[in-house]
Structure 1
Amino acid sequence: MGKITGFKEYSRSNYEKISPEVRIKNWGEMREETSEEKIRTQAARCMSCGIPFCSAGIMLPNGASGCPLHNLIPEWNDMVYRGQWKEAYERLSLTNPFPEFTGRVCPAPCEGSCTLGHIDEPVTISSIEYEIIEHAFQNGWVKPAKAPATGKRVAVVGSGPAGLATAHYLTSVGHAVTVFERSDRPGGLLMYGIPNMKLDKDIIQRRLDILEEAGVAFVCNTEVGKDITAQELVDTYDAVVLCGGATRARGINVEGNDAKGVHMAMDFLTANTQNILAGETQESKISAKDKHVIVIGGGDTGTDCVGTSIRHGAKSVHQFEIMPEAPDKRDTNTNPWPEWPKKLKTDYGQEEAIYLTGSDPRSYEINTTKIEKNEAGEVTAVHTVQIEWKRDALGRMNPVAIEGSEKVWKADLVLLAMGFTGPEDTIPDELALKRDLRSNIQATETDYKTNVEKVFTCGDMRRGQSLVVWALQEGKLAAGEVDRFLSGDTDIY
């Protein structure tokens, strides 16, 4: 523990964002540069507590608590405080293959269970992690992970965070890994599901270059199950790891859901990123420019739709959330520490909307009842009703419409950001893979094996829609089990 009284002397000070006035005019990352002195001061707030709940990564009744990767957070906080940046990077990379991703997009369950956060504001763990990995890249410490070839070949299906983590670890012990990706670029959700202002695509490419230098082969524009059969991979490779994600988006079952101008959020975000990568030579295929936009869904993807629509130049943006507004502070009776604190969060998209209009774009406890369209089939309005949550005879909470609360909202573009229902059917149907009650591919957390010999699965395809940090952990653990299957033992853990 570098500064014994640091947590008493210093207040929490997270990184600064570029002002909404400036950042809505471009697609650059929103983070202002932070001085080394500030980061070291923030690291000094770590209490190096006897039981580091921040590293726990366990599931509690109300969600995850601590880092799923079991990052050695107090250790590298101490090293940062002392200015030992290389040692901090070496400690961080023991558990986290891609800190540049989690340091940017992870909601930081580690901070939610920080012991200091029990009595004060938690340590800025995410910001410190970001600074460690950026120091490492700037100083050339990040090297390809190579090992003598084992002669074993592994096919990884999907190049999102789980697939990239799997490929990284398997390559690091000498197996030859080929990653199949149906899009034109590797990265999956990281590349096309998260906007540039949160995760610049050069950051992803920087890591992809290192993976390729280590020996990972990427085969893009190739959809397994269509362009090449899954069985062909099983027959050709020594092992196959399915990391295709939970990409079946949840639709909306109301009249008019087939109107022109109603799109899945991921289609909207993907089209925008593709346009940016092409040099913005034309307007995005799905554009919010000069449109009244309704975003249905209150999560991170909904926020990304709000921020993207604002940058397109939308006339108005409204965001619907069927759940109640969260409290300003943690309810210690129903949501005690070290559970993830369920409290109101105003993210970058809402901040930008507030800057432009003076009001929060979110409406809570609101349900869409109809999407109105004109004779040309184009969306013109969205009908809603306010709801309240009531418990039924079986104790289940159900939304009940409030009489007289109906409202009609003008709309030219409706974006559905209501999450995902599981993996697509093509590969599971072809290989006759067993699935759980939520339609995910069935495999345990102990061996990640499916019911088909030498076929493994991990990430969202196995556990359902989740965080990038969980995908990285599952990719690491699955790689260890594949290595054990191929070699009889493993050093991946």
Structure 2
Amino acid sequence: MGKIGGFKEYNRTDESNIVVEERVSNYSEFTVALTKDKIKEQGSRCMDCGIPFCHSACPLGNLIPDFNDMVHQEEWQSALEILQSTNNFPEFTGRLCPAPCEKSCVLGIISEPVAIENIEKNIIERGFSEGWIKPQPPEVRTGKTVAVIGSGPAGLAAAQQLNRAGHTVTVFERDNAIGGLLRYGIPNFKLEKGIIDRRVAVLKAEGITFKTSVNVGVNYNIEELNTFDSIVLCGGSTERRSLPTNGIESKGVVQAMTFLTQQTKSLYGEAIPNQIMATGKDVIVIGGGDTGSDCVGTSNRHGAKSVTNFEILPKPPVGRSETTPWPFWPLQLKTSSSHEEGCNRNWLINTKEFISNEKGELIGLKTVEVAWKMTQGHRPELVEKEGSEKIWPCDLALLALGFTGPEKTLSDQLGLEIDLRSNYKATNYQTNVPHIFTAGDMRRGQSLIVWAISEGREAAREVDKYLMGYTNLPTKGNGDLPNL
């Protein structure tokens, strides 16, 4: 375990951030890393619980007490091997995962939980800086070929695992660069794209082939997939949710992902005709999740006149709600770094109308305050508060309302079944067409990055078993561990 009694000796310490005035002037990551000694202290806080709930809460089954102990002992290479045995891309999860492991940390019952996510990030960054991350191509090829459609975290994880099993893997990406939502859905200030490029270079060196600007079923004949022995669909959940609200067609009502994608592409020199900018505008972001937060941060960097955020749900409590006790994921107020940069947050607000001028340009929003009526045995009912209508000035409304499911281009052309939630239906990741598998948001619906990686890994096991009749790929939480 970590240092005996270390959790009593050391307090939790997190990375600090560059001051707001400096960081909103650019799109770079802005965290200030802890020293190695401080990271060692944080690893020393781990109690090596008899039943590690952190391990259970992690969709990847990361062996958290094990790598924490190695960090405490300054055995960084061993920590890296343990971490990579269950997680293909700690550099992504260490920046983007909401850390369900920390919410279920036993220490969190009485104190601040262990800083697991930051430890994870430091382990992998140490691995890259020291040159410990090296390509691991398979020693033997099986002669089997696999097509992976989609290069987000699920697709990349499936590709790496299948390549390690010896299969020849080709990844198809419809956009012009690899990464899926990691590339175009996550702002640079949370994930600089060189982090993705660094990992893709490793995957290419391991023998994986990447084909960009290839939209299977659109500019790539679906019949050509028949040349592969198996197919893994990892296209994500990309059908964006809208609002059945008057004026939704007004110029200035924009889907959040369109706004974020344009911004990222513009940073890398891509020409964006009529790019949507928040500069000098009254911006209202509808939706209080991570995507909404990303829109807030991007709008502030554009130089918005004002940034307001609407959420239709009640304001969560500052501390853990009694309805979500440890070790469950807590209902709790989350204040992101983007919120701290400047945002007027509002809860229990419903948009009734998008108001436009004679040119069809958005000039305001009409809202009403609401409450949720709870009746046992019935679905919650949204009730409007009489006399609470309000007009808000608004030049740009960003809809950060999540996604309703995957696009049906592939399922229609491949004859795949859809489940009741409009996702691609699969049993053990296998669709109704035996050689076609699916993983990630396309199978389970919109979810976390750590679930996407887990799904990609688990789907790869099933594909390997289908192709070979057996598999040596590791199961969840049971990686190929080094001899320590």
- TM-score category by the smaller chain? over 0.9
| Residues 389-446 of structure 1, C-alpha deviations (whole Å, 9 max, x = no match) | 00257422111100111111111111100000000011111122111111000113xx
Aligned pairs for 1:443-482 (under 5 A) are 443-444=426-427, 447-482=428-463
Question: What do the CA deviations read for 1:277-309 (whole angstroms, capped 9, x no partner)?
Answer: 118x88981111111111000000000000000
Q: Unpaired segments of 5 or more residues in structure 1?
A: 57-65, 354-359
2:355 pairs with 1:365: no
Matched, 1:489 2:478: no
Other-structure match for 2:290 = 300
Aligned to 1:16: 16
Structure 1 residues 31-110: aligned runs within 5 Å: 31-56=31-56, 66-110=57-101
Match of 2:479 in 1: none
For 1:124, the aligned partner's letter is A
Counterparts of 1:2 and 1:165, CA distance in 2: 30
Which residue identity is paired with 2:288? G
1:315 maps to 2:296: no
Q: Which residue of 1 aligns with 2:276?
A: 286
SS in structure 2 of the partner of residue 74 of structure 1: helix
85 and 343 in structure 1: CA distance in 2 versus 1, 3 angstrom threshold: same
SS at match of 1:298: coil
Aligned match of 1:61: none
**Mapped contact 1:275–1:283 kept (Cα < 8 A):** no
Using the TM superposition, name which of 453-462 and 15-24 deviates more: 15-24
CA distance in 2, matches of 1:411, 1:23: 25
Which one of the candidate residues 198, 217, 227 is aligned to 2:190? Answer: 198
2:378 counterpart (354, 374, 395): 395
User: Which of the numbers 95, 120, 132 marks the counterpart of 2:123?
Assistant: 132
Q: Normalization by structure 2: what TM-score?
A: 0.96
Does residue 123 of structure 1 match 2:123?
Answer: no
Aligned partners of 1:245, 1:385: CA distance in 2, in Å?
A: 34
CA distance in 2 between partners of 1:377 and 1:453 (Å): 50
Which amino acid counterpart does residue 340 of structure 2 have in structure 1? E
Secondary structure of 2:38's partner? helix
SS, match of residue 482 in structure 1:
helix
- Which residue is 2:136 aligned to? 145
Deviation for aligned residue 1:315: 0.5
**How many residues end up aligned between the 2 structures?**
473
- 1:302-356 superposed Cα distances (whole Å, 9 cap, x missing partner): 0000000000011111010000000011123x11110012111110111000xxx
Contact 2:277/2:302 (<8 A) preserved: yes
Corresponding residue SS for 2:308: strand
AA of the residue aligned to 2:277: S
Aligned to 2:259: 268
Q: Give the distance between the partners of 1:394 and 1:40, measured in 2 at CA.
A: 50
**Distance in 2 (alpha carbons) for counterparts of 1:465 and 1:276:** 26
User: For the residues of structure 1 that align with 2:403 and 2:292, how far apart are their CA atoms?
Assistant: 13
Tell me if structure 2 keeps the 8 A contact 1:145–1:171.
Answer: no
Question: Deviations for 1:109-155, whole angstroms, at most 9, x for unmatched residues?
Answer: 00000000111110000000000000000011111221121111100
Letter in 1 for 2:339: Q
In the TM superposition, 1:171-182 aligns within 5 A as: 171-182=163-174
Query: Is the 1:292–1:316 contact (alpha carbons within 8 Å) kept by the matching residues of 2?
Result: yes
Partner AA of 1:319 in structure 2: N
Query: C-alpha separation between the residues in 2 aligned to 1:278 and 1:149?
Result: 39
Unaligned runs of 5+ in 2: 475-484
Counterparts of 2:2 and 2:408 in 1: how far apart (Å)?
A: 52
Query: What amino acid does structure 2 have at the position aligned with 1:452?
Result: V
Aligned-partner SS, 2:31: coil
Q: Which amino acid aligns with 1:405?
A: S
Q: State the match for 1:326 in structure 2.
A: 316
1:434 maps to which residue?
417
Q: Percent of counterpart pairs with the same letter? A: 54
Q: Which amino acid aligns with 2:155?
A: G
Runs of 4+ in 1 over 6 A off after TM superposition: 281-284
Q: 1:131 to 1:294 in 2, by over 3 A?
A: same
The aligned residue for residue 357 of structure 1 is: none
Residue equivalent to 2:2: 2
1:272–1:284 Cα contact (<8 Å) kept: no
How large is the RMSD of aligned CA atoms in angstroms?
Answer: 1.3
Alpha-carbon contact 1:100-1:133 (below 8 Å) kept = yes
Task: Give the CA deviation at 1:78.
Answer: 0.5
In 1: Cα distance, 2:435 partner to 2:415 partner:
14
**Residues of 2 paired with 1:417 and 1:231: CA distance?**
36
Note if 1:221 corresponds to 2:213: yes
What is the DSSP-based 3-state SS (H/G/I as helix, E as strand, rest coil) of the residue aligned with 1:421?
strand
Kept in 1, the 8 Å contact 2:2–2:45? The answer is: no
Q: Distance in 1 between matches of 2:329 and 2:300?
A: 30
Q: Is the 8 A contact 1:165 1:475 kept in 2?
A: yes
Separation in structure 2 between the aligned mates of residue 259 and residue 230 of structure 1, nearest angstrom: 37
CA distance in 2, matches of 1:2, 1:306: 39
Q: Which moved more, 1:44-53 or 1:29-38?
A: 29-38
Alignment of 1:247 with 2:230, yes or no, is no
Deviation at 1:362, TM superposition (A): 1.1
Alignment partners' CA distance in 1, 2:203 and 2:197: 10
- 1:59 paired residue number: none
User: How much has 1:454 moved relative to structure 2?
Assistant: 0.1
